[in-house]
Amino acid sequence: MENIIALQNPWKRGQAALTKKIIDRKIVPVIEPWLEEEEIVVVKGARQAGKTTILYCLIETLLKRGIEAKNIFYFLLDNLRLQQRFSENPYALKDILETYIGEPLENYPHQIYVFLDEIQKLCSFTNVVKEYFEIFKNITFILSGSSVLQLSASISESLRGRTVSFLVTPFSTGEIISHVETIPFEDIVDYNRMKSHYSRLLPYKSEIELRNNQQLVFGSMPRIFLSKDETQKQIRLGEYLETFIRKDIIETLQIAKYLDFEKLLRLLSYQAGSVVNVSELAQQTQLGHEVIRKYLTLGEESFMFQFLAPFFSNKRKSLVKDRKLYFEDLGIRNSLAGKDSMSLLHKPNLGAEAENFVNIILNKYFAINKMKMSKNFFRSYRGQEVDFVLEVECRLMPIEVKFQNQIKKRDYNHLILFMNDLLLTKGMIITRHNFGVEKFSEQEVILLPLWLFSMIV
């Protein structure tokens, strides 16, 4: 056990927590202030989204603040010996901590920081965390997990009201191109401010578009994105799906018929940005409605994809209508669909991929900034559609994605109708190349190229 602790805690032997240079993550300074609060910090996100690296960044922060190395503990619960030790003896953690600090916890005058990585591997341990949290005020817990389903269930039962949660998403464009200042979100609805940002960022346009193209094809999971070439990216995407489907889903979520689950995932990969109907999926897969619903929940709660509810003035209606599906990472979606090659970019119609990418950008922004926001889509019985309807601080912002070379008059129709119906004065179209503003009576529609919009985060 001592060898495991020494291996997972290099700072205890005088080494740095991070041994190589990394891409700075914007979520880290958001989490850092909470290390001094009384809540249990929960860091959640998809596997390989960078949670472990972020935990090590937080450990580096503590060391820089002057916290002694002996007061910082990291446990990767993916380790079978640790799982066995903690399962057999729930108070083994207390024994380990006291061995290293040299005295009983109840008498120890300093704060101890305990990082429990991949807590979903030992969900029952949250009951022990609760007990420690209530008894020992000199212990700060930081938990991480890659399955919301199990993590949320255990937290809701054991740790409700005691946690503050943060979502780790894959790299954003602003993190990848860290030498370029990002755009404040509130500026995207102000054309004059956007003109200034457009001029400032124009010299970096080629670099931003290159990074966006890489994300459109291979996604932005850190390990995959940082691979040295296309072949390596494809291999790692395949390994990711193999591990997710045949390890996480079978072992962690206990799904025996993983081939059925995989078949559904591959079918959904062709429906990114489309409304998903359970009855149609059941007919196409020959699976029961309840099985489909269960698998959809598992996919969503494991950060594979996200559902977007329709926008209604009556909020209750949005809970019972069919929803649109977007994948959380386009590399994973493309690998499932057999499109994980740069040749994808030569196809004339990338509207679905661009729309999914806009959803990913919005998710990353609001995860990092923890702003209160609702995000929906609009579809009327007459066939009128608006891709995204954002509600931020009680203000509505409709957004259409038109990833094409030219924006024609008819491309404004649905957006303007929606704005007229709700008495909105501003809307937005995300384009392939166009930047500008169009005015229609009392309405103003800002056109932002995708490369520019991607720099909000």
Q: What is residue 154's predicted lDDT score, i.e. its pLDDT?
A: 59
3-state secondary structure of 291: helix
Q: Measuring CA to CA, which residue among 401, 310, 311 is closest to residue 359?
A: 401
Residue 157, pLDDT score: 64
Cα dihedral 303, 307, 313, 314 sign = negative
Selection from 205, 148, 138 nearest residue 177 by Cα: 205
Q: What is the spatial distance between Cα 100 and Cα 110, in angstroms, rounded to a whole number?
A: 13
User: What is the Cα–Cα distance from 24 to 176, expressed in whole angstroms?
Assistant: 9
Q: What is the mean pLDDT of each run of 10 residues along the chain (457 residues)?
A: 87 91 95 95 93 97 96 93 87 92 95 93 81 93 77 62 91 97 95 98 98 97 96 96 80 68 94 95 94 91 93 63 94 95 90 97 92 88 91 93 94 96 96 96 95 97
Question: Can you give the pTM of this predicted structure?
Answer: 0.93
Instruction: Look up residue 90 and give its amino acid.
Output: P
Distance, in Å, from the CA atom of 97 to the CA atom of 352, rounded to the nearest integer, reads 51
Contact status, residue 216 vs residue 357, Cβ threshold 8 Å = yes
Query: Which CATH number among 3.40.50.300, 3.10.20.520, 3.60.20.40, 1.10.579.10 corresponds to the domain 2-168?
Result: 3.40.50.300
- Distance in angstroms (rounded) separating the CA atoms of residues 43 and 45: 7
Q: Hey, CA dihedral for 248, 253, 255, 259, is it positive or negative?
A: negative
Query: Do 450 and 431 form a contact (C-beta atoms < 8 A)?
Result: yes
Residues in CB range of 312: below 8 A, 6 or more apart: 318, 321
pLDDT per residue as tens digits for the range 340-392:
899 999 888 899 999 999 999 999 999 998 777 899 999 988 888 999 999 98
Cβ atoms of residues 298 and 261 within 8 Å: yes
> By the 8 A CB rule, do 47 and 170 touch?
no
Domain ranges, ordered by start, for the chain: 2-168, 173-456
pLDDT at 52: 95
**CA distance readout (Å), 119 to 2, 52, 77, 124:** 20, 12, 6, 9
Our measurement of the distance from residue 214's CA atom to the centroid of its chain's CA atoms, rounded to an integer in Å, reads 18
Task: Look up residue 169 and give its two tokens.
Answer: 């998403």
pLDDT tens across 78-129, in order? 888 898 898 888 789 999 999 999 999 999 999 999 999 988 888 778 888 8
Whole-number pLDDT of residue 155: 62
